[in-house]
Amino acid sequence: MQLNFILTDVMKTGNHIEIESFINMHSMDNQKFDVCGEYYGLDWFNLDSYHRKFAMVDCRNTNLRFESSTEFKDELQKRLKILRDNGFNIIMATPRESLENISIGNAENEHTYDRVYPTKEMIGEPCFTWTGGTNWFWFYMQNKHKHHNFNFTHDHNGSYWHKKKDFLYLNKAPRQHRKKLYTKLKDNNCLDNSIHSFTLADTPVTIEKEYELPGLDPKNYPRFGKDQDIYELPYIDTVCSIVSETNDNDYEVFITEKIWKPIIAKHLFVVHGNHLYLQKLKEMGFRTFNHYFDESYDLERDPDTRIAKITKLIVDLKDKCDGNHGAVEGGNKKWQDIYLQTQALRKHNYDTFFDSEKLSKEINKTLDLFLEFADGC
């Protein structure tokens, strides 16, 4: 058994309890991890007894409040020098961000919401960059919702088909790839009978109040804090989610709450995200809908080609939706059939999402990267 120690918050600016819960979900038989969230608590441990030692620097945009503080910067660099001198491996902890967000967010003239602080330049090398990847939001959303009793109803009752709308398509930050797809779908009239939003666009688009989280004003949607909450009605009244992910590059797969919400809701979904996003979901044990509609967009490396194929797919899916909506006798047979045929698939995804053992195996992969970094230094 190898012993590892992790100081989970060098400057005490983050949620070390959350990170420690993530680490403690691991299932690595040959590794033990002791954790501490307090720099001044290091004296409580016999640090010489550990095979590896790590120290995490919390790097989030909320820390921009310290950006003008020379005291914060000086104290951080003083602590990092002491830690490195004592054999600690430094981790830049940005589990809620992607590699692209970190890179773009530190460039000139970018939006504040994409920036992180402290920067990697402040932390120095050697340093391991921990980004959200595929498992952080799985962990976060599972812990947030595992005791919640949702009531999603999708399947028809006899001849009654209750869905009133076509798609659920939620956008907030106006990233370039989102603006491109949103414009194409609007130009093709795909969103005429859908619940859709673009809350931070130059001309904000908000959803109807009845579909917003209870007690929240759609015209004053907060920048942070509500994205991981789930309200049943928008999923109940729509046929399919168009998932507008954070990035669309071809060098990483960043999976956020945006896909976990329709999976929890047992909803059909189309994903506008990274190249091979659906492939990664399958590798993690989930199933997608390639037997029911064209998912070849996932194989397209070029972002514009991917957008074109997603647009064509949404146009085709809307053709299935058109004709009968709401409480119409007979309902929409095509969508009723798809929902009946995918009952087992959608339940599989729901069960997989809430399977702590499967999540644990994904968390092991992140901790393996920490260990490889330490052993390579």
Whether this model's pTM surpasses 0.75? yes
Find the helix packing angle between 303-321 and 176-187, rounded to 10°.
40
Examine the pLDDT at 354 and tell me if it is beyond 50: yes
CA distances from 4 to 45, 188, 270, 292 (A): 12, 55, 41, 47
pLDDT value for 109: 39
Ordered by start, the domain boundaries in the chain are 2-139+359-376, 147-353
State the CATH architecture for 147-353: 3-Layer(aba) Sandwich (3.40)
Examine the pLDDT at 31 and tell me if it is beyond 90: yes
Is residue 315 helix, strand or coil? helix
pLDDT, one tens digit per residue, over 287-340 is 999 999 999 999 999 999 999 999 999 999 998 766 544 433 344 667 888 898
Does the structural domain 2-139+359-376 have CATH classification 1.10.357? Answer: no
Rg (CA), the chain: 23
pLDDT value for 343: 94
**What is the mean pLDDT of the segment spanning 252-261?**
98
Is residue 216 helix, strand or coil? coil
Q: DSSP letter for 45, please.
A: S
Tokens of 354: 């809430």
Tell me how far apart the 2 most distant CA atoms of the chain are, in Å. 74
Q: Which of 108-112, 233-237, 278-282 has the lowest mean pLDDT?
A: 108-112
Q: How far is the C-alpha of 31 from the C-alpha of 3, rounded, in Å?
A: 6
The pLDDT-based confidence of 219 (bands split at 50, 70, 90) is confident
pLDDT value for 360: 98
* Fold match between domain 2-139+359-376 and domain 147-353: yes
pLDDT averaged over every residue in the chain = 92
pLDDT value for 326: 42
Say if residue 126 is preceded by a cis peptide, omega within 30 of 0.
Answer: yes
pLDDT, one tens digit per residue, over 133-170 is 999 999 999 999 999 999 998 876 655 577 889 999 99
